[in-house]
Each structure stands twice: as structure tokens, then as C-alpha cells.
Amino acid sequence: MTAEVRHIRTAAEQGLVDAFAKVKARLPGETILAMREAAFEAFEAGGLPHRRVEEWKYTDLRALMREAKPLAGVPDAAARQAARDAGAALGSVARRRIVIVDGTFAPELSDLAGLDPGLTIRPLAEALGKSDGETVRHVGRVLPVEDPALALNIAFMNDGAVIQVADGAVIERPIHLAFVTTGAAASFTRSLVVVGKRAKLTLIESHEGADALDYQVNNALELVAGDDAAVEHIKMMLDGDGALHVSTLMASFGRNVTFNDFSFASGSAVTRNQLFLRFDGEGSKADIRGATLARGEQHIDNTLVADHARGHCTGREFFRSVLDGESRSVFQGKIIVRQHSQKTDSKMMSNALLLSESAEADNKPELEIFADDVVCGHGATAGALDEELLFYLKARGIPQKEAEALMIQAFVGEAAEGIQHESVREVVMERTRQWLAERG
Amino acid sequence: MALLEVKNLHVEIEDKKILNGLSLTVEKGQVAAIMGPNGSGKSTLAYVLAGKEDYVVTGGEILFDGENVLEMEPDERAAKGLFLAFQYPMEIPGVATMTFLRTAVNAQRKARGEAELSTPDFMKRVKEASAKLEIDPDMLRRGVNVGFSGGEKKRNEILQMAMLEPKLAVLDETDSGLDIDALKVVSEGVNRLRSRDRSFIVITHYQRLLNYIVPDVVHVLSKGRVVKTGGKELALELEASGYAQYRDEAA
């Protein structure tokens, strides 16, 4: 037997071990306890991911996470009061808002009346508590991913939303999952969204919390899109400047699915946004985009894996980041094309705009192609604002700062133009303008 | 009355002398053509007037409407009424031409202490000006110059000029890359803007453009200075004899 090298646990790792031992019996869903335990064991073996773990080489969570915050309890009256305006950034969008406060689904703050025919929404804790067959069948199983942060999410997941859209149901009003954190705690949320065949859904997530509040968010979303479904998913990461935000999307697409995704990241001290996508049927199209706006010492990581398990699918990945101060962005994108997935068309591009000398952008594109009849490509750039363009704008009478702002907006706008829902796209541009105004 | 006075201007770029004591006066309402061989400093003069950073002025001065523009940022010069139509207009993906025009017009108005144009007022002006230049309204919604042909880009420059109503417009080889039809549209656009209060510097390598935009005066540039000044017939002489004699003269 080979000697097992065990590392010395960090304070954060020890905190998580203690917390799991304490709460595991109280977590919802007896039937999934074994799954939780297995996930936690997997986490314990490797501990928090660090720079020698390839997938996490630019985001050393072991170094970045100094302690395990206490698990958020059931929100009290004050927390619920503080969460009343959750998701206000999306206020201009005519949407159905579901509020999740400190990791707990808050029905009294959510718009649950008059659900469209074919639409059901309920708390994950409730579904797990009742061992709901559909939920138990899917949760943690839509797209199994071995990832330490995700393992922690499975171990500790407490609540979230379970959304089901029946075959053929077209949900016009976007559903908005508004996550808000009100205290210096850790929350582990998981949501499950099952969209039936030929069904249509726009799903918005927003994540927020007060500035100068030291909190941790570990959020996961599992999405199943049935044949011919059309789904748009927009995630607005607007957490407070003291937050550590880790979130993961796992999505599986049937045949002829149209999927649009947009990740907007401008909050948190540290953000790790993971997207795992798998094409499980032919003829599907996924357009995955993101915009990152970082300043100060912010660290924002977008990591994506697009697995073409079936052929004849189109994937487009387009991520842009704007970096000021000493901030850092990471983009890791991996396209996997399986041996039989012929006629795959997948392209990936990441561009970083550096506004200061000390900002840093790390881009890591990877292609793993086993099929021989495919069109795949990737590109990555990093650079400053184009001086020639700035001169052109200034020669037309536009002052330096305004010219810079116009160019940055255009840079973000080219990513945001992929958002189909117009009023959501406008929210992204409005947040960008706000960020630029704060830049001065 | 002189609108622009360039006095004994010396300019370098990357330690290379380009303008060597250039002096030039443009009267109010005058159309001055500047001709000269490649490398004589024509485009450098255009860029220095507009305030491009890479050029180092080592001597001389530029007075525009009596003010020293060398102290001013490019946007301040623009707000004072100085316009440069670029030889190679830039493409700005993501910024619609309409947004660009509006931002520029209002930035200049703001700098001059004038009220911003209202949306209907602005739209009316853009529509009129673009129709005259045969610019498809669809192009105004697209990113500035993105996917435009050479002729469309030049027309877009003239549209910007029409909207910004400068006191002095410097046209840097506006004829380059234009076919005869596009040349006519662009020239007519310029001629419509000619007035007693507006001056032009028309920089060109060829006489052809001056058949359409007829200058009041022609200056010949060689080795970074004006070596000859004459009437519009000077352009025809140059067309016949070429620039060789001026190259020798300056040497």
C-alpha cells in the first residue's frame, strides 16, 4: 500500500469538518444523506483546492478562504426585513421574484401567486424533506462533476428552489431567483430547474449582500433542458465587497435545445463562477457569455467546461473582463468533443481590457477533441484601451474619461448583446454605466 | 482675418524631424489646398493641428482664432471648432454611429456652455444630414465604421463634420480610396458646408479632388515646409509637371 500523504488541515478545512459532523443529521433529505457523506469524504481527502490542483491553479481557495464562516441559520424577522428589496437591480424587469435569504427560501417575500400553467416552484428543503421522487432523482445527478467546491455544496446544501416547467409550457415572465445574504455567515444553496420538452423559460439569478460584510456563498444550480426547449439563464453576481462567492451551473441539454447564458460578475472580494455544460442530444445550440468588471483587489474567475457528448451541436463561448486597480480575472474554458460527436461547431473567445498597470488577466483555453470532423477554435487577448481609438473620439470633442467610458461600454456591450431578454440586457448595461461612474 | 496661423512650426516623431519651420495662414472662409509628395509632412500637419500625442512640437506656434492650441487637449480643440476628417477613419465596434454622433455633439456643446440638443432636434439633424450624403439610416445604428466600405467611411466623416459644424475642417486625403461617384458625393457634402464663416484645409496628393472642391489657394509642401503658394491653377501645373522640382528646391 502506498503511503497516503495527508496535508495538515487549515483552519477553514477544520471548521468545515467540525460543521459537517455537527449538522449532517439535521440537513434536509434523509434519502440523500449517503450522497452528502460521500461528497464530504471526497472533499476531506483533498481539502480545499489550491494552486497545484489544475482546475484551481489561478484561484487558490485554500489560501483565499481563511476560515469557515458559521453556517447561516434560519433567517429571523430582521433578516427577512432586510431582504425585502432583494434583487432590486432587476427592478425594471417584469419578472417573478423568488427570494432566498441567507440560504433559506422565503415564500412570504416571493411571488408565488398565479403561477403559469405547467409551472411549479417550491423550496428545495421541502422537496428533500418529503423525499420528492423527481427532486431526489435529479439533485446531484444532472451532471456529476468532481470538484471540491461542489462536493461541499452537496454535503451542506440546505435550501434553494425547485422549478419545473411542464412539456410545451411557455413561461413568458422571467423567474428571478434573488439570493441575498444579511449576516457574516456561510450559505450552501442548490436549485434544480427541469424544463420540459418544447418549453421556454428565462431564469435570472442575482446574488447580493452588504459591502464590508465578511460572508461566504456556495451556490449551485442544476438545469435539465428537454428536447426542443429554449432556456435563457442570466446570473448577476453583485455580492458585497467582503464576500467569497463560489457558484456552479451544471446543465444538460437534450436535442435541439437553444440555451443562452450570461454571467455578470462585479461583486465580491473573490468570485469563482463555474459552468459545466453537456450536450446530451444532437442539434443543440448554446451561447455562453460573460462580462466581468473588477477593481481594487477583486479576484474574479470564470471557469467553463463544455462537453460535446453528442455531435451536431453548436457552442459559442464569449467572455470579457474589464480590470482596474490591482484586480485579477481568470478565464478557463475547456471544450471537450467526444469521439462520436462529429459535426461539432464550438468556438471560444476571451478578451481582457486592462485599465491599470497592475491589473492581471489569466486566460486558459483548452480543447480536447477526439472526433475528426469538427470545427473548433479558441482565442484570447489582453490589452489596454486602444490609443488610436481614444484619439479619434477625443478629436470629435469627447473628453478623455467620457471616451474611455464609451469604449468600455462598447467592450462590455458586445458580450451583453447576446442576452435575448431586452430589459435584462439593459440592466447589465446600466450596471456597467454605474461601475464606470464610480470609477470617476 | 486669419482664422489659423501656423508660425515656424517644427515637429518630430520618434526623433525624426517631419516639419521644418512650416508657416501657413488660413483666412476665415478660405479653402486652402495643401499638396505635396509623399513624406512631405501633409498628414503630420493634420495630426498636429488635431492634437495627436505622438508628435513632439519642438518649435513654433499654432494660433486658432487667436488662441494657442498647442496647449489644448484634442477634445478642447474640437470644441473650439477644429475638425479633422481622418485619412483612415477608425472602426469602433459596439458604439452605434448615432450614439457616437450624439455624444460628440453634446460634449462639444457642453464644453462651449451651450445646452444639449434634445432628442427630436438631434434626430432631425442627423436624418437631414445623412440623407444628403446618401447614408442609409441602417448604418447609423451599426457600430461606427464597422463593416463600412472605404467610401462609406469617408461619407461618415463628412456626416460628422456636418453635425459638428466646425470653424475649420481639415480633410486629410479624403479622396484616397474613393471611386468617382463617392468622390462626387463627398465633395458635394463639403461644398454644401462652405461658407463665409468656415475654412477648410484640403490635403491631397492629387489634383482630381480639387476639380470638385475648388480651392481659393494652393500651398505646396516639401520636406516639412511650404515651398510655393499660388491660385487654383497651381494644382493643374503640379498635375502636369509632378513634384520633382519641389523635392530639389527644398533639398
Q: Say whether pLDDT at B250 is over 70.
A: no
Confidence label for B241 from pLDDT (cuts 50, 70 and 90): confident
Beta pairing class for A186-195 and A104-105: unpaired
- The answer to whether A407 contacts B53, with C-beta atoms less than 8 Å apart, is no
Total Cβ atoms within 10 A of residue A120: 13
The predicted-structure confidence for B149-163, as pLDDT tens digits, reads as follows 998 999 999 999 999
Q: Does B69 touch chain A (CB under 8 A)?
A: no
pLDDT of residue B251: 41
pLDDT of residue B245: 80
Q: Does A410 touch chain B (CB under 8 A)?
A: yes
Q: Does B57 touch chain A (CB under 8 A)?
A: no
Q: Does B73 touch chain A (CB under 8 A)?
A: yes
Select from B78, B89, B87, B82 the least CA-distant residue to B143.
Answer: B89
- The answer to whether B93 contacts A410, with C-beta atoms less than 8 Å apart, is yes
Q: Say whether pLDDT at A4 is over 60.
A: no
Select from A352, A233, A338, A258 the least CA-distant residue to A301.
Answer: A352
What mean pLDDT is reported for chain A? 96
Q: Does A381 touch chain B (CB under 8 A)?
A: no
Q: Say whether pLDDT at B240 is over 70.
A: yes
pLDDT of residue B1: 77
Whole-angstrom Cα Rg for chain A: 21
The predicted-structure confidence for A299-343, as pLDDT tens digits, reads as follows 999 999 999 999 999 999 999 999 999 999 999 999 999 999 999
Mapped onto helix, strand or coil, the DSSP state of residue B75 is: helix
Q: Which residue has the higher pLDDT, A8 or A18?
A: A18
CA nearest to A414 within chain B: B94
- The answer to whether A397 contacts B79, with C-beta atoms less than 8 Å apart, is yes
pLDDT of residue B205: 87
- The answer to whether A397 contacts B93, with C-beta atoms less than 8 Å apart, is no
Instruction: Identify the DSSP state of B114.
Output: P
Q: Does B164 touch chain A (CB under 8 A)?
A: yes
Mean pLDDT of A413-440: 94
Confidence label for B93 from pLDDT (cuts 50, 70 and 90): confident
Contacts of A393 in chain B (CB under 8 A): 92, 100, 104
CA-based nearest distance B226→chain A, Å: 25
pLDDT of residue A1: 47
- The answer to whether A394 contacts B104, with C-beta atoms less than 8 Å apart, is no
The predicted-structure confidence for A104-121, as pLDDT tens digits, reads as follows 999 999 999 999 999 999
CA-based nearest distance A388→chain B, Å: 8
Q: Which three cell numbers stand for residue A356?
A: 491599470
Q: Does B84 touch chain A (CB under 8 A)?
A: yes
Whole-angstrom Cα Rg for chain B: 18
Q: In sequence order, what are the beta bridge partners of A13?
A: none
Q: Say whether pLDDT at A5 is over 70.
A: no
Mean pLDDT of A343-365: 97
Q: Identify whether the C-beta of residue B251 lies closer than 8 Å to the C-beta of residue B227.
A: no
pLDDT of residue A6: 61
As for the ipTM of the complex, it is 0.95
Distance CA A164, CA A154 (A): 20
Mean pLDDT of A257-275: 98
Query: Which of B50, B79, B94 has the CB atom closest to A410's CB atom?
Result: B94
Mean pLDDT of B169-195: 93
Confidence label for A32 from pLDDT (cuts 50, 70 and 90): very high
Handedness of CA A95, A99, A100, A102 (dihedral sign): positive
Q: Say whether pLDDT at A60 is over 50.
A: yes
**DSSP labels for A59-80?**
S-HHHH--SPPPBP-S--HHHH
Lowest-pLDDT choice from A10-14, A91-95, B167-171, B235-239: B235-239
Q: In sequence order, what are the beta bridge partners of A217?
A: A187, A245
**DSSP labels for A308-343?**
E-SSS-EEEEEEEEEE-TT-EEEEEEEEEE-TT-TT
Vertex B79: Cα angle to B78 and B83 (nearest 5): 30
